[in-house]
Amino acid sequence: MAYLDIKEKIPVTIVGGYLGSGKTTLINFWIKGSEKFKYAVLVNDFGQINIDEVLLSSGDGLVIGLSGGCICCSIGSDLMSALDQLSAYHEAIDGVVLEVSGVGLPKAISAAIELDGRYHSKDIVCVVDSNRVGRQIKDPYIGDTVRAQLDQSSSIFMSKLDLLDAQAREKARALVEQLAPDRRWLSHCDVPGSMETREVNQSSQDFDAAKWFNPVPQDFASESFELARAIDEDSLRDFLKQTGRHLLRIKGVFQLTSGKVVLLQGANDFIDICEWRGTWGGVGRLVYIHHRDWTESLNFKRELSALMEASL
């Protein structure tokens, strides 16, 4: 029996989790590893340039980028428009996977989906960075956001467990279980179409959809940057090492002076640059997110431009 009957509501799996937790990686795994189920994937980023739409490999699915800001802020227009477009494909898809911005909260999105009679909010998956969750919870800037994302979830996926030893893995899991008890724990083998329907957690606190549309994104700001020229890798690494600690998240695809096209991903003190194997349009693109009170954000952009000029 097909997972989606044309007369039934289209199930939507919402994937949330803090910046750099591994949401895009998990969705990519679902898409590439599933032959039985076909997904429409809604991706977004907290910036004018939609980097996630580039990073996600669509496979046989449909990918729609939600640009122009955090999805929690633009849900009334972008999301509804995307759902309207997807309704034309409901005979060809088994369900929708929707990725929430890393600083966004999924509950308002779930509530909006339920208001549309064609869709059903099937599951809210929170992707947790096992290696960082302990520090994130204690962070005075982001702790409340991480807690809220966990609280509003119905399922948990622990990423980056391979970076921890057995004792650290158990400690991370115990912390998450304490913060978000009675959740379903997912593995890589659990893809949206194979999971039984699970009631989305309503949380112990009363949920007011309007409350969650704006407050979290107000604490953050994003900048979008196009790299029209190649840049030297060593110089870029040194630059990010000095200034990148202020960045909560950075993503980009661009060209190095060596001629290699690379993918850059980073979160806080972690930066990774590896070869990009996707299509290349000739112009590099970056999106980075920082606390709104970071006063050096303009200087960062100017210095990045100067670094590009110096790489000529």
Where do the domains of the chain lie? 10-212, 219-310
Residue pair 141/219 in contact (Cβ under 8 Å)? The answer is: yes
Q: What is the pLDDT of residue 67?
A: 57
Q: For 5-31, what is each residue's pLDDT tens digit?
A: 445 788 999 999 998 899 988 888 887
- Residue 213 confidence (pLDDT) above 50: no
Q: For 109-153, what is each residue's pLDDT tens digit?
A: 888 888 888 898 899 999 999 999 999 999 887 888 899 999 999
Indicate the average pLDDT of the chain: 78
Tell me what the mean pLDDT of segment 272-288 comes to. Answer: 83
Q: What is the pLDDT of residue 200?
A: 58
Neighbours of 258 (CB within 10 A): 10
Least confident of 99-108, 195-204, 301-310: 195-204
Q: For 65-89, what is each residue's pLDDT tens digit?
A: 655 443 333 344 567 777 887 777 7
- Would the CATH topology of 10-212 be identical to that of 219-310? no
Neighbours of 78 (CB within 10 A): 19
Q: What is the pLDDT of residue 172?
A: 95
What is the token pair recorded at 29?
Answer: 């795994």
Q: For 301-311, what is each residue's pLDDT tens digit?
A: 888 888 888 87
Q: What is the pLDDT of residue 199?
A: 57
- Residue 215 confidence (pLDDT) above 60: no
Fold of 219-310: Hypothetical Protein Yjia; Chain: A;domain 2 (3.30.1220)
Q: What is the pLDDT of residue 77?
A: 52
Fold of 10-212: Rossmann fold (3.40.50)
Distances (CA, A) of 167 to 3, 90, 172, 210: 39, 45, 9, 41
Confidence band, pLDDT 50/70/90 cuts, at residue 94 = confident
